[in-house]
Structure 1
Amino acid sequence: MLRRIRSEQLQVGMYVARLGGPWIRHPFWRARFLVSSEDQVRQILSAGVQEVWIDILKGRNLPAPDETDAPVAPVPSVSGATPDALSPPAPQPSASLEAELGRARELLQSGKTVVGSMFADVRMGRALEVDGALLLVDSASRSLSRHGQALLALARLKARDDYNYLHAFAVCALMIAVGRTLALPDDEVRELGLAGLVHDIGKLTLPEAVLLKTTARTPEEEETYRRHPSAGYRILNEARLNSNIPLDVCVHHHERVDGRGYPFGLVGRELSIHAKIAAICDAYDSLTSARSGHQEWSPARAMEYLAVRVDTLFDRRVFKAFSRTVGIYPLGTVLRLRSNRLAVVCAQNEADPLRPLVMAFYSVSQSRPVPAELIDLRHSDETVVAFENAAEWGYSDEQLMAMYAGTT
């Protein structure tokens, strides 16, 4: 992927794909090369070259502006501070959770069909067409406008056999929602949604023995697996796209801010905000989904995993936006209260994310269900002492959804 920069921004480790101006005016006989020394940078500057095209897939990217923030609140610790404001308060839902869940179910079925058709075209060697995908992105965006949590909650609940299709749609929805929280422009958010749908398209080139393996991959298999971002980039590079955001996300969503990601080992300042959003959304949905070799985690456990890896694997500013978007305790999370009852999170409290609206439904002390009680933790003596795995108490996500769907 090419990016135009000013010549004074050129750094050692960047791959020059083209130099501005007639080649005879600069000392480099070849137009494409890896910048390996400061002397090369000085020669380019002294030759009067004003702009340079770099290939960020073959070398370093231009560092993003330094993004310093206050420390991230520990999550989901009940004693932590709430995330800093990132955008104006979210608008009030125009549809009830119950009503939007109904629409979201239909949308997920449509999404499975659209993504399945798109993947089938790629497997058959046909050029990728994204018109249908963009219509799906627009439908997801409208759903999130009507109710910010319904589609996110439902997209997390996917059968193991549907993982590859619905993971793409879930990441799409998450990236749209986080992009809005970060107040990105509407056209950019739309491209983020498309990027979510196609971020893993390179996996279609992997052998099933590697992709579906349920035990640890061998070093050779891991090397093969780690080629999928670059393979996806090649597929997308042949498609007619309106922007480079889907390509950027596809090739960089497994990069990590400390340089331990792949395929290039880039560090945080070399990664775009779009790639950083994708890294968190992809990781969260993968952790909370049942897939080959992985038992799904609760939303709260996944949030805790992400939180303790901020500044090593994930960008802190993006994590703050993500935690505000899905909630420190996401919809459907099961919490243990001080009264030793289990309660499911029904809605977020924008002003106090650590005290959501919950419905108590089970007594741990008595080992039996209790009459449902809706509790706003902002106005209650109850406090959260831990989060729980619903399955360990004999409850499925679908049963919990039936409990909280009619509460808002």
Structure 2
Amino acid sequence: MAKAELTKIPASQMLVGLTIKLPLKWTQHPFFINRIKLKSLAQIELIRGLDLSFVYVLSGHELLPETIDEVEDASEAEDAAKPKTKGSALDSKSAAIKAMRIGQQRFLNNINESRSVFAKVGLDPEAAYRDAATLVEGLVEHLQETDTPYLTLVGSGEMEVSVTQHGISVAVLSLMIGHALDLPKSDMRDLALGSLFHDFGKLKIPENIRRKRNDLSEPERNYLKMHPNLGFDTLNACSLYPKNVLNIVLHHHEYIDGSGYPDHLTEKDIPQLTQIVSLVNDYEDLLAQFTFSPQLALGTLFKSHAKQHSQSLIGILVKVLGIFPPGTLVSLSDGSIGKVMMTTSEVKQPHVWSCNHAGGEPNLRFLLEEDVTVSSVLKLEELTEGALKTLQADSPISFYFSAMPDS
């Protein structure tokens, strides 16, 4: 029996829910196998970053429009006819798409490198420190690729945020604050290294306690609160890590009003670098609590946690994240809805993944090139099932530098 021919679609038409096969050897892509179930926009953007013209569809054909090939052919012809002059709308869109893809790829690479570092801490401390220092140097270099860095939405494709994923995201936001403060490069390295390792001690907490989201017993809560000490003791025993880094690991849950732990320090006893990581970590903890709403988490931090952090640092974090941080669900002035993918210089015109209220007409849009703005913020429960699926609105939110070139 002849082997059935696989359905081929343009890479630009990949949708969440499809199972695809990559037309590549396994050594030419970052996935374990060629057969991939598309579960998130992050996966799709990573695959698009491989610069493939097409992929094979193995299942989920019912999700595809009947005229997908004709639509894509017409679109490609139209794009080919457009002049790709420097500074054109097409040129800026391509740059933004490339920036988001690069950010996603770098984020995933850093997660993998961070896991490798953590695995070496006990077995080969010197190698772990060298690799961590290399990772941190890369983070700082990525930030400094542009004078005006913005944030892009990234993710691992998993519904559970790992210690390493959280560490990279905290490092990115902390470095953005450090950049705004014009900190010296040595402080930036310590800030990133401390962020990377701040929750390292959690890996010594039993998984059933560490992954438990609600209803921790008092003994379990107290055990979990030991993670700063556990991380500090392990790294301090290596005699390799700078004092600033160790302080971040031990005191990233300390607040300036003395309400934190483990030592109930007040502002005068908490170094600036530690205060930065404490603030960012608190924000990301709120982000996990408030059902995938980065703006609500930011508002709660600003209103309810103001006494726990420096007002000046909170103000900088607000500027870094923008009015509509990446991951925010929004209603647009043309009646469509979307999820913010990347911040821009115009706070009401970020780059968004958009659809109609039923979840149809998915599209990556650049509001800077349209006469469209963000009208309001939406809550998760306001979305239809179709929109929820299209926007992947319930996916965990992490951040990376946009890598956009200076304009």
Q: TM-score normalized by structure 2?
A: 0.63
Give the corresponding residue for 1:328.
323
State the one-letter code of the partner of 1:179.
G
Mapped pair 1:300 → 2:295: yes
Matches within 5 A, 1:140-219: 140-146=139-145, 148-149=149-150, 152-154=152-154, 156=155, 159-161=158-160, 163-219=162-218
The whole-number CA distance in structure 2 between the counterparts of 1:113 and 1:391 is 35
Gaps of 5+ in 2: 1-91
Q: Taking every aligned residue pair, what percent have the same amino acid on both sides?
A: 20
For residues 396 and 126 of structure 1, do their structure 2 counterparts lie closer, same or farther at Cα, with a shift above 3 Å needed? farther
Please give the per-residue CA displacement for 1:172-218, whole angstroms capped at 9, x wherever unaligned: 22222221111111111111111111111111222223222243211
Give the corresponding residue for 2:268.
269
For residues 187 and 275 of structure 1, do their structure 2 counterparts lie closer, same or farther at Cα, with a shift above 3 Å needed? same
For residues 362 and 344 of structure 1, do their structure 2 counterparts lie closer, same or farther at Cα, with a shift above 3 Å needed? same
C-alpha displacement at 1:164, in angstroms?
A: 1.7
State the one-letter code of the partner of 1:182.
L
Matches within 5 A, 1:18-33: none
Q: Secondary structure at the match of 1:308?
A: helix
Gaps of 5+ in 1: 1-92
Give the corresponding residue for 2:222.
223
Please give the per-residue CA displacement for 1:236-266, whole angstroms capped at 9, x wherever unaligned: 2123446311111111111122222111122
Partners of 2:362 and 2:390 within 8 A in 1: no
Partners of 1:336 and 1:385 within 8 A in 2: yes
C-alpha displacement at 1:124, in angstroms?
A: 5.4
State the one-letter code of the partner of 2:180.
T
For residues 193 and 360 of structure 1, do their structure 2 counterparts lie closer, same or farther at Cα, with a shift above 3 Å needed? closer
State the one-letter code of the partner of 1:173.
V
Give the corresponding residue for 1:356.
349
Alignment match of 2:340 (pick from 340, 345, 352):
345
Q: Secondary structure at the match of 1:336?
A: strand
Mapped pair 1:138 → 2:132: no
Partners of 2:194 and 2:249 within 8 A in 1: yes
The whole-number CA distance in structure 1 between the counterparts of 2:102 and 2:353 is 27
Give the corresponding residue for 1:384.
375
For residues 343 and 305 of structure 1, do their structure 2 counterparts lie closer, same or farther at Cα, with a shift above 3 Å needed? same
The whole-number CA distance in structure 1 between the counterparts of 2:125 and 2:112 is 17
Mapped pair 1:394 → 2:388: yes
C-alpha displacement at 1:96, in angstroms?
A: 2.6
The whole-number CA distance in structure 1 between the counterparts of 2:384 and 2:229 is 38
State the one-letter code of the partner of 1:215.
N
C-alpha displacement at 1:346, in angstroms?
A: 5.2
State the one-letter code of the partner of 1:317.
S
For residues 136 and 359 of structure 1, do their structure 2 counterparts lie closer, same or farther at Cα, with a shift above 3 Å needed? closer
Greater Cα offset, 298-307 or 120-129? 120-129
Partners of 2:170 and 2:284 within 8 A in 1: yes
- Size of the aligned set, in residue pairs, is 300
For residues 242 and 224 of structure 1, do their structure 2 counterparts lie closer, same or farther at Cα, with a shift above 3 Å needed? closer
Higher RCO (Cα < 8 Å, 6 or more apart):
2
Give the corresponding residue for 1:375.
367
Greater Cα offset, 100-109 or 194-203? 100-109
Q: Secondary structure at the match of 2:367?
A: strand
Give the corresponding residue for 1:100.
99
For residues 158 and 136 of structure 1, do their structure 2 counterparts lie closer, same or farther at Cα, with a shift above 3 Å needed? farther
C-alpha displacement at 1:287, in angstroms?
A: 4.1
C-alpha displacement at 1:132, in angstroms?
A: 0.6
C-alpha displacement at 1:336, in angstroms?
A: 2.0
The whole-number CA distance in structure 2 between the counterparts of 1:391 and 1:196 is 37
Q: Secondary structure at the match of 1:120?
A: helix
Q: TM-score normalized by structure 1?
A: 0.63
Partners of 1:191 and 1:246 within 8 A in 2: yes
The whole-number CA distance in structure 2 between the counterparts of 1:183 and 1:144 is 12
The whole-number CA distance in structure 2 between the counterparts of 1:111 and 1:296 is 25
Give the corresponding residue for 1:280.
279
